[in-house]
Chain A
Amino acid sequence: MKAETIQTELTQRIADILSVEPDAVDAEAPLHTLGVDSMRMVEMLVFIEKQYGVDLMAAGLKREDVASVAALARSVESRKTS
């Protein structure tokens, strides 16, 4: 699965979590500026674990790896292919 496809799915998911339209989610923006808090972040990580089988929490949450939707998508893709 390509990073673009993952990014589209993650954008949709985060839009659902934040009750906004997917167009309102800037994929490059830091997640905290979108209104994501601890609970919403954990919901995203649980979604990623269920959907793609990647446990980013166990992999070590480095800020640069998970700080935006685009970064999350890249992290998921690299861990799925490695």
Chain B
Amino acid sequence: MNRFRYLNGIDWVLTGLHHSIRQTSGLGNWSQLALELDGKLDIEHFRAAVQRYASAFPVLQGRAVRGWQLAPVWKMPVKKKQALVSVEKQILPDDASFEAITEKLGQCVAVSPGTPGRYIGFNAIYTAQKTFLAFRFDHRLFDARGAELFIQGLIRYLDDGTAEPPPTFQIPPEKSDLRPWIKKFKSGQQVVRLLHRQQEATPFQLESRISNPAFRFTLIPLNEPESVALINRAYDQAGYLMLTPWLAERMTHALNTLLEKEGRPPGGYVIPCSTDLRADTQKEMFFNHASFIYLCRPAGEGADWPKRFSRQFFEQVQQGMPCHFENAWKLARIIPAPLFGKLLRGPLKSFAGTFSMASVGDGLSAIESVAGLTVRNAFHMPMLPPAPGLGFFANTFGGRLNLCLTSYSGVLSDKEHTELIGLLKRELLSLS
């Protein structure tokens, strides 16, 4: 059994962000998937299955340490241990609004890192004849796609109905990849040049000035006709399948309108957009296989931004920027994680941009039912690092689009937050 797995550069960035979030808000670098189920989930049956299933993954009992070459590694236990995964039950009144459910889901993910060794957790929220099943995961171990694969495996295991734990999951080995350092250095040059060019757009950063900010999620599920109309409009304006660049452009437009209304000088926008690089979904369930595209809209430039954002997407893939980011971050593994967390909040803050996004995914559509209960909808709810402190995410489920606006308290006031949601809905649904 592999007891060690080298962490790649993106893993180390996520570890740095974990420390950064802990230092700022006392929370971990969590993200969450939430499934809306039709009916009441049998929590005892689910809890027992989760403990058995999780025991097959020694990686969930591991921790980050320095290897003999000084590259960080994930160290897993020699002996198989019984997994202890938190599975909690929460009950809301039958007439609970969707906003109240979202608030409760937000409380489930915004928790302190807790007992070392606990990198995942579940919450089942009951209301009327529904269950909202929330899967919280630590970003040091999973990216969004990896978490989707993990929960798909768990649901298959539940459906099998076996009382036997699954076979122990072997983490595929990863090279330390310390050499050739010159290649990583050259990738670093490309990254710095790109970010330097984008800083010329004078992007503004919203920042929470509250010392211990809370975290806020707003979910905006669209129905099927709204989703179809929106997606068609995105394809017409930004190009076929260019939904992600189009959503980025609409968000910049909504933010710009908000700032102009308040008489604040509109700046430029830089939007880091994470994107999945994994080649083999079977082996690459754990750790991070994502990289970034940086979209940039300079202040005061007007026309045709949906197409220009699509073009930026194309040009950065053409230039190999996602791979340059992946390579360049490998050099950062020498920095101790707590110091890295401080650097990401300080000198490296410009990497954060104006707001975060992720490429729109459809991975949750593969989950049709959980323990016999039909899945009505499924959402991604990612937490964010303190900078930029504002994020706009989307996923599709069964042809419907779900939007998620996330922010720290203090980044936007309650009034601004509500106004931004109204503006976004207007931008996206083309309301007058």
Contacts and interface: CB of A to CB of B under 8 A. Distances in A.
Given A19-B280, A37-B362, A39-B275, A63 B240 contact: yes
A79 B357 CA distance: 34
B310 interface: yes
A41 B241 contact: yes
Contacts of A35: 362
A72 B26 CA distance: 50
B242 interface: yes
Interface stretch (B6-14, B264-272, B313-321): B313-321
Interface residues of B, number: 25
B362 A41 contact: no
Contacts of B362: 35, 37
A46 B318 contact: yes
Nearest to B359: A39
Nearest to B244: A38
A10 to B, nearest CB: 15
Contacts of A9: none
A57 interface: yes
A26 to B, nearest CB: 16
A29 interface: no
Contacts of B46: none
A3 interface: no
Interface in B127-174: none
Contacts of A40: 241
A15 interface: no
A32 B241 CA distance: 7
A79 to B, nearest CB: 16
Interface string A38-70: 111111011001000000011001110011000
Interface in B215-256: 235-236, 239-245
A31 interface: yes
Given A19-B281, A37-B360, A42-B314, A61 B239 contact: yes
Interface in B83-125: none
A71 to B, nearest CB: 10
A36 interface: yes
A57 B136 CA distance: 38
B276 interface: yes
A7 to B, nearest CB: 18
B314 A38 contact: no
A28 B370 CA distance: 33
Interface in B291-348: 293, 310-311, 313-314, 317-318
Contacts of B310: 57, 61
A27 to B, nearest CB: 16
29 contacts: A31-B241, A32-B241, A37-B241, A37-B244, A37-B361, A37-B362, A38-B241, A38-B243, A38-B244, A38-B313, A38-B360, A39-B244, A39-B275, A39-B276, A39-B313, A39-B317, A39-B359, A40-B241, A41-B241, A43-B317, A45-B314, A46-B317, A57-B311, A57-B314, A58-B311, A61-B242, A61-B310, A62-B240, A67-B240
Interface of A: 19, 31-32, 35-43, 45-46, 49, 57-58, 61-63, 66-67
Interface of B: 235-236, 239-245, 275-276, 279-281, 293, 310-311, 313-314, 317-318, 359-362
